[in-house]
Every structure is written in structure tokens, then in C-alpha cells.
Amino acid sequence: MATDAGVLLAQATGIALQAHALSKRFGRKVALDAVDLTVPAGSVTALVGPNGAGKTTLIRVCMAFERPNGGMVEVDGVDPWKHRSEALRRVGYVPQTPAVYRGLDVDDHLAMARSLHSGFDAEYARKRLNQLGIPLDQRADTLSGGQAAQLGLAIALGTRAKVLLLDEPLANLDPLARREFIQVLIDAVKSDGSTALLSSHIVTDVEEACDRLVILGAGKVLLDCPLEEARQAHRLTDSKSPPPGGVAVGSFAGKGLTRLTLWRVPADAGDGAWAATEPASLEEVVLGYLAAGRGTTGLQLN
């Protein structure tokens, strides 16, 4: 009953995934520190952060692989820890490293997925793999890294899940394979109307695929906003003097020896706010927030 209510609420509010005060510790190490997160339905959200930021832990909590120490998380209105089968029925998951069975061929993987997931659409997954020219009778352990990642994505898409959780699927791929993967993902999300949360520590990879950005650092959400807003609301200077109305976010090493400071500037700031600043790229926005997460704000610099 609680699950049904949660699902209805999620559908009414258009929220595919949400976390509130979500915490996870491993011994003394805090992996997630009171994370608040909202992923709107139909969005492709980039979950960006350095290694050890908590990206994988967040996704694992959503997959019910890890039990949270506090707070709540809901996937399409379902708490994955309390109602695991219900939650996993709504989730397509691509693990961090391409997980393939060495002794099985590609088609065996689809057969296995079908035997495990009642709603698995093997034909759909097969079609996607055919489009990519991946032979179904090829042994999975002979696939290239890109092909193995595409197989993982095809399996996740074959579940026809409402929410796709992709845990750094691009990390081990070459640039061409990364581009292909992202193209397939964008195409699938658009055509299926699903929601994707794509974690990565490479900002340029997710820039073209995502419409929303979540920056995670040291287990905390440092920024959660639409991608366009992230670009427009931040400016960059090479000095410590703030633009009018601007709030320093963080300072980091720019190209050469210059030290750059990222400023958050309100949309209604006067013309003076823009005059002395440069527009920030998405990578610079991320760098600024990560620097802030480490406690190196512009005000603390020399």
C-alpha cells in the first residue's frame, strides 16, 4: 500500500528519483552525507564528482546493494531497500565495469536477462545490438570494451525500465566508444521516455548527453540544477575582486599559472556583474564546486 502511494505520488509530482538526507557510512568513512537529490522524470542527469565522491555509493543505494544509514531514497516512488523487487523492476542498471559472463555469448546474456527479469524485452535489446553491429553469437569475453559496455546498456534498456542508473559506464572506453554509447543512450531515453542518472568524473562526456547536473563532492551534493542554469549562473575571474552580486564558489588552477575563481551570479545581477568576468564552461563550473567541496574557496586563497 505504501509502495502504491509512493508510486502515485512520484507520478503526480513527476519525480523519477529522490533522496532526502540520505547518509551512508563505511566504518568511519562517510560516503554519503545527508544527500538531498531530485531527478525529474524524463531527464538525463549527470552525476559528476571526483573518485570517492560517493557517486557509486549513491547508485548502489538506489539498487538496494547498500543499506543507507539514514534518510530515504525512492526510485519511481519505491524505497529500494524496503521493496527491492518492486524497485528493481523499475530500474535498468549498467555497472561500473562492463560485467559480462566469460563463458556466455551475447545472446546468452539476453536469455539470462529474460530469465531473471519478467519484463525483459529481448527483441528490443537484440535490435539495438544489431544496429551497432555486435554479433549475437560472439563470446562476451571477446567483445571490445566498447561492445561490452553497449551490451550492458542493451540489457539495461531491454528491461524497459522507467529509470536507468548508469555507474560510470564511460570510464574505460575510448573516445569513439564513449560517443557511440552516449548517442545510443540519448536515442533510447528520447524514444522510451525514460529517466537516466549517468555518473561520471569526465565532464565533457556527459555535457552533450545530459540536461541536468548534480555535483557530488565528499559525499555531499554541491550543486543540483539544470545544465543550462549551471552554465548561465556562473562566471569566472582571475582576480579575487567579486563581480557585483556575485558569491564566490571556489578557486582552482586555470591554464598556465593563473588561478581562477568561480562566482555564482544571480540572474538579475546588473551589467557590472558580467563586465569583468568570463563565462564558465561546464568543466570549470564543476572544478569550482569541487574546489569548494575541498574547502578552497576564493576567499581563503592567497
Partner 1 sequence: MRARIILTFKQHRFETVAVTIVSVGLTVAALIEAYRLNSLNVPLSCLLSYHGDFVDPSQGPITAAQAHCNELAKSFFDTKQSLDMNLVQLLLLLVPLLAGIVVGAPLVAREIEQGTAPLSWGLSGSRRRWLLGKVLAGVLLLAPLMLAVGLAANVLEGALSPGLNPYASFSNYLGRGVIDVFWALAAFAGTFALGTLLGRTMPAVVVALVVCFFVRAAWDSGMGHFVLRSFAVPQVQQDQQNQQIGYVVYGPGGPAFADMTLYYKTFIDGKEVTDAQANAWYAQNMVCTPIPTPSDSTSPAEAGSPGASSSPGAPATPDYSNMGNGGIACQGPTIDPSHMPQQIPYVIPGSWYWQIVALESGILLLGSLFCGAIAFVWVDRRRPY
Looking at 32, 88, 154, 170, which residue binds partner 1 (CB under 8 A)?
Answer: 88
Nearer to partner 1, 59 or 286 (CB): 59
Nearer to partner 1, 44 or 140 (CB): 140
Tell me: does residue 51 bind partner 1 (CB under 8 A).
no
- The stretch near partner 1 (CB under 8 A) out of 15-23, 29-37, 108-116, 266-274 is 108-116
Looking at 19, 91, 213, 291, which residue binds partner 1 (CB under 8 A)?
Answer: 91
Tell me: does residue 108 bind partner 1 (CB under 8 A).
yes
C-alpha 157/C-alpha 91 separation (Å) is 9
Tell me: does residue 27 bind partner 1 (CB under 8 A).
no
Looking at 7, 104, 225, 269, which residue binds partner 1 (CB under 8 A)?
Answer: 104
Nearer to partner 1, 35 or 155 (CB): 155
Residues 57-76 binding partner 1 (CB under 8 A) are 63, 65-66
Tell me: does residue 86 bind partner 1 (CB under 8 A).
yes
Tell me: does residue 117 bind partner 1 (CB under 8 A).
yes
Nearer to partner 1, 89 or 201 (CB): 89
Residues that bind partner 1 (CB under 8 A): 63, 65-66, 84-86, 88-89, 91, 93, 95, 97, 99-104, 108, 111-117, 120, 152, 155, 159
